[in-house]
Amino acid sequence: MKTVRLTAAQAMVRYLANQMTEEGVPFIAGIWAIFGHGNVAGMGEALAGIRHDLPTYRGQNEQSMAHAAIAYSKQLRRSRAMAVTSSIGPGALNMVTAAALAHVNRLPVLFIPGDVFANRGPDPVLQQIEDFGDGLASVNDCFRTVSRYFDRISRPEHLLTALPRAMRTLTDPADCGPVTLAFCQDTQAEAYDYPESFFDRKIWHWRRPRPDENELERAVKAIRAAKNPVIVAGGGVHFSGATGTLAAFASRHNVPVVETQAGKSALSWDHASNFGPVGVTGASSANAVCENADLVIGLGTRFQDFTTGSWALFKNPARRILSLNVQPYDSAKHEAIPLVSDAKVGLELISAALGDHRFQAVDASLKEDWFAKADAVTAAPEDGNLLPTDMQVIGAVQRASRDNTVVMCAAGTMPGELHQLWKAGRPLSYHMEYGFSCMGYEIAGGLGIKMAEPDRDVIVMVGDGSYMMMNSELATAVAMGVKITLVITDNRGYGCINRLQMATGGEEFNNLYAHTNQASPMQIDFAAHAAAMGADARKVSSIADLEAALNGAREANVATVIVIDTDPYPTPEGGGYWWDVAVPEVSTRAEVTQARAAYEAALKERR
């Protein structure tokens, strides 16, 4: 057997650089790295040596670097991914939140945190925790719960089994998610005679699992028996590349489609079958269809609470649920009729079995009513003296957008309002991280999206709160010449949580800055802050100026930041659905007691 003597770190990166997609490009498109003593010598030396085949990017924070990596893969429908490496201890733990984000959203990312010495010579090394009763414990154990595959590389030859398992997980449509290979510091630097064949180029083919015949038969029978089915399109539709198939299916069989946050843009907003966003942040049209449906067909959805109205939405006493999902876990949720399958293949087979079967038309005026409401709240304000609403900001961004625009967000007021009000055209023109809804995903995520699709205009919608939590990858975007546009809606605090607090009977407390424990009122000049990181930044004072600034941003040659003050209180009415947020059972506040009574009544609607 021919062998090659390499350090474990050199072997790891050489292996990664040779794992290819069907399109002939490396599956791992690059690696984000922040070095410390736990990876600079081993991984650092190896990455410098391979930089022309596997580019290394240096961000400002391990978590946000991982956000960029994750957004990159989400935008490319998981067809490629990135890796992130850190030192041991704090650098490693900074990535745990991002690992959970990828875990919830079923997105591939490879974490390579440094780990303590396998030989235990220097114990305790700087940043090593000491467990008094467990000699194997390391901070990296935190990754176990939030990784689809976890391994600790404490001998060089562990890579021979660990790396293929890692790739299997990253490229498996059902098990896809974050992989953590905790890499002991001394092991990274240790040499071993690896078989040369281990580094042969390998192509990873995307699998499309076909349904079991009996499951398919039962599913088709259930669909044929239905009078008012609805398809709930989730993120799996994008991952499977099933958007065209879904459009054809919906038209041919006349089935209404509603979209989750991850599924939005599966169908163009103006497709006759698209009844809009579903659930808590949904449209009245979509939710009316769902209330009435006797068969809810989940298509690549996890059925999270925002989709199901905490399971109160699907009200029809006769309703059944069918869950077409590539992951068996999701297919069996809530006593669904399971159909384990790739979305595209599954839809094609169902369509063939249904033949010319068509369902009765759903009242199209539901949609017209909803859009009339949505258009009214997103229109440019007539009275320019009032503080703009976030809805009006959405309208301005929409009007300034083009066919190739991607609008993105993750947390705050904007995700719900964008879900309701944004008119998404092309598939993947809407990028929402609403599985983990992680504040701080936005700016780094925007960077990752633009790296994935440089030809698209990427508009990052970010609240003042999310901006304050994590903004430093803006400097990275500027330095890398990655041109994204940020719209910062400054409502001086956590507007959405403040409204939730009021809705649950609470007094306004600790959300908007005005209600926090502060000696001098917080006043942040976001434009100056962003400009200090090199962005082309300005504050605008009206919706008209925002629109003009957005149009100007296209010509800019650096990342652009536009700040606008908005009103923290108004929010779209007449669309959304109930959301289960537990209200205190006893309180001295009458408002809480009232909210509790409403809450208990609402709970009875759950099915």
Please say whether the beta carbons of 255 and 247 come within 8 A.
Answer: no
CA distances, 131 to each of 124, 137, 186, 529 (Å): 11, 6, 20, 42
Min dist CB 470 to ligand TPP, Å, is 8
Contact 258, 276 (CB under 8 A): yes
Residue 495 contacts Mg ion per CB under 5 A: yes
**Interface with Mg ion, residue 491, by CB under 5 A:** yes
Cβ 443 to ligand TPP, closest distance in Å?
11
- Using CB under 5 A as the binding rule, the residues of this chain from 446 to 465 that contact Mg ion are 463-465
Burial class (CB in 10 A: 0-12, 13-18, 19+), 552: middle
Candidates 34-42, 57-65, 461-469, 588-596 — which segment interacts with ligand TPP by CB under 6 A? 461-469
| DSSP run (H or E) holding 349 | helix 343-354
Closest chain position to ligand TPP (CB):
463
112 in Cβ contact with 56 (< 8 Å): no
How many Cα atoms within 13 Å fall on the side-chain side of residue 48? Answer: 7
* Residue 411's binding partner out of ligand TPP, Mg ion, none, with CB under 5 to 8 Å set by partner kind: ligand TPP
Q: What residue spans of 484-604 are helical by DSSP H? A: 495-503, 526-532, 543-553, 590-603
Question: What is the SS3 assignment for 540?
Answer: strand
Among 438, 530, 562, 583, interactor with ligand TPP by CB under 6 A? 438
Cα torsion 336, 339, 344, 349: sign: negative
Q: Which CB sits closer to ligand TPP, 298 or 395?
A: 395
> Counting contacts by CB under 6 A, is residue 489 touching ligand TPP?
yes
491 touching ligand TPP, by CB under 6 A: yes
Other residues' Cβ atoms within 10 Å of the Cβ of residue 206 = 16
Using CB distances below 5 to 8 A depending on partner kind, what does residue 438 bind out of ligand TPP, Mg ion, none?
ligand TPP
- Give yes or no for residue 466 binding ligand TPP (CB under 6 A): yes
Q: Which is nearer to ligand TPP, 448 or 463 (CB)?
A: 463
Closest CA to 257 of 239, 240, 237, 241: 237
Cβ nearer to ligand TPP, comparing 305 with 453: 305
Question: Shortest gap between Cβ of 310 and ligand TPP (angstroms)?
Answer: 17
Distance CA 313, CA 316 (A): 9
Nearest CB to ligand TPP, comparing residues 265 and 437: 437
| Min dist. Cβ of residue 489 to ligand TPP (A) | 6
Q: Give the interface segment with ligand TPP, choosing from 112-120, 241-249, 329-337, 436-444 (CB under 6 A).
A: 436-444
How many beta carbons lie within 10 A of that of residue 304, not counting itself?
17
Instruction: Write the DSSP string, 238-259.
Output: HHHT-HHHHHHHHHHHT--EEE
The distance of closest approach from Cβ of residue 413 to ligand TPP in the complex, given in angstroms and rounded to an integer, is 3
**Residue from 176, 326, 496, 592 binding ligand TPP (CB under 6 A):** 496
Residue 464 in contact with ligand TPP, rule: CB under 6 A: yes
**Count of residues interacting with ligand TPP (CB under 6 A):** 17
**If binding is defined by CB under 6 A, does position 437 make contact with ligand TPP?**
yes
Helix (H) or strand (E) holding 181: strand 178-184
Residue at 12: amino acid letter: M
Of Mg ion, ligand TPP, none, which one sits near residue 87, judging by CB under 5 to 8 A according to partner kind? none
Q: Which is closer to Mg ion, CB of 113 or CB of 463?
A: 463
Residue list 161-200, contact with Mg ion (CB under 5 A): none
What burial class does residue 1 get, using C-beta atoms within 10 Å of its C-beta: 0-12 exposed, 13-18 middle, 19+ buried? exposed
Phi and psi torsions of 184, nearest 5°: -55, 135
Question: Of the listed pieces 168-176, 366-374, 471-479, 494-502, which binds ligand TPP according to CB under 6 A?
Answer: 494-502
Give the one entry of ligand TPP, Mg ion, none that residue 466 binds, where binding means its C-beta sits below a cut-off of 5 to 8 angstroms depending on kind: ligand TPP
CB of 523 to ligand TPP, least distance (A): 15
Helical spans, DSSP H, in 504-584? 526-532, 543-553
Does 416 participate in binding ligand TPP (rule CB under 6 A)?
A: no
Residues 94-133 that bind Mg ion (CB under 5 A): none
Contacts of 194 by beta carbon, 8 Å cutoff, 6+ apart? 3, 4, 5, 6, 11, 156, 159, 160
Smallest separation (angstroms) from ligand TPP to the CB of 526: 11
The minimum distance between CB 514 and ligand TPP, in angstroms, equals 12
- Which residues of this chain interact with ligand TPP, rule CB under 6 A? 411-413, 437-440, 463-466, 489, 491, 494-497
- Which residues of this chain interact with Mg ion, rule CB under 5 A? 463-465, 491, 495
